[in-house]
Amino acid sequence: MVANASANAATAAIFRGMEEREKEESYEVFERVSSIFGVNAVAKQLERPGRDATWDAHNVVTFPNGHRAVFEFVKEK
């Protein structure tokens, strides 16, 4: 029982660390994208509708014609 609790705590800590790293990487992408397109054209997060569900997109650029581009951090393998 103690070993299982320790494993669960370790797993939770790893996931928290990964989430924090993803936030930092997304912020870096936001900084780069907003320096190119302008801060007013970039949303840090925007809910996007899909066919069956919605999803949160990060670093969404809205162009003057209404089209949008999403810039998400992609981890290299």
Q: Summarize pLDDT for 2-28 with one digit per residue, the tens.
A: 566 677 777 777 767 777 787 788 889
Q: Summarize pLDDT for 27-53 with one digit per residue, the tens.
A: 899 999 999 999 999 999 889 888 898
**Are the C-beta atoms of 61 and 31 separated by less than 8 Å?**
no
60: its two tokens: 């969404």
Q: What is the 3-state secondary structure (H, E, C) of 12-41?
A: HHHHHHHHHHHHHHHHHHHHHHHHHHCHHH
